[in-house]
Amino acid sequence: MQPRLVEGDGKGVKSYGSLDANIIIANAPDPVFVSDLEGKILQANDAVSQLLGFRQDEVLEQSLSRFISPAETREFTAALREVVERGVMRNVVLNPRSASGEVIPTSLNASALRDADGRAIGVIGILRDMRELDKARAYAESLIKNAPDAVFVSDLEGKILQANDAVFALLGFRPDELIEQSLSRIISSDETREFLAALREVVERGVTRNARLNPRSARGTVRRARPVGSRGVRTPRRWPARSSLRGRRRTPSSTRPAPTRRA
């Protein structure tokens, strides 16, 4: 049950509902703050101070713009308007600067605070420190890059977002000839449909899915591959899929034209 919040000031947000909002915010494990509709911070828990390295008195009554860039301030202000006008929760990527000068990548989840009459009186924001996620992503990218098998990452429409050197060695294309290209460029229509169906299953069921693909190389030969394993990868903004394939042998084919290779 959400508390009915009716007043905000530098001493915190007071609740007249069944829950004490101040206690909830103060004891939240994540960095949580409350701001007015102009972005002035009215309340922040200890986790905010730990994240940014500022004392409470250095944070309270300050505009959020003190800690983020002008561009992010504009994005945050736009998010506030959307939260208030549409009554939705918004995720925003912010990079506040800490007391030591470190820029900290965070994801902000913002929702409106309303009084007993339903009027928006402020915003509650929950910050998520993305540094560990960024480290994990960098580690995963390192694994992909150095994998002995051909590994690529695509979006849910089959556009190739990332591929390791083994992919280029297998198919003979340069990176600029494959990255940002649809996988349908190098496989048949039937295989494209099978691959997209596999992606849907990966996303909906959270499973690893195998599909047999026969991509055409830069020389126009078909690389008959062992099953491709696809696995969904969650990110804050999208659901890409990571796939790997192992080449078996190369055979000529005249059924599909080879992709045009740029000079």
Contact 103, 117 (CB under 8 A): no
Nearest Cα to 217, choosing from 239, 238, 245, 197? 245
For residue 100, report the phi and psi dihedrals to the nearest 5 degrees.
-85, -5
Tell me the pLDDT tens digit for each residue of 82-126: 888 887 777 889 999 999 999 999 999 988 888 888 888 888 999
Q: Which residues contact 60 (CB under 8 A, 6 or more apart)?
A: 10, 41, 42, 43, 44
Record the pTM: 0.53
Looking up tokens 């491709």 gives: 228
Tell me the pLDDT tens digit for each residue of 23-73: 778 888 899 999 999 999 999 999 999 999 999 999 999 999 999 999 999
145, pLDDT greater than 50? yes
* 128: region left, alpha or beta (phi > 0 left; psi from -120 to 50 alpha): beta
Q: Walk me through the domains of the chain, giving residue ranges and CATH numbers.
A: 5-129 (3.30.450.20), 133-251 (3.30.450.20)
133, pLDDT greater than 70? yes
Cα 112 to Cα 103: distance, rounded to the nearest angstrom: 26
* Both tokens assigned to 24: 């909830």
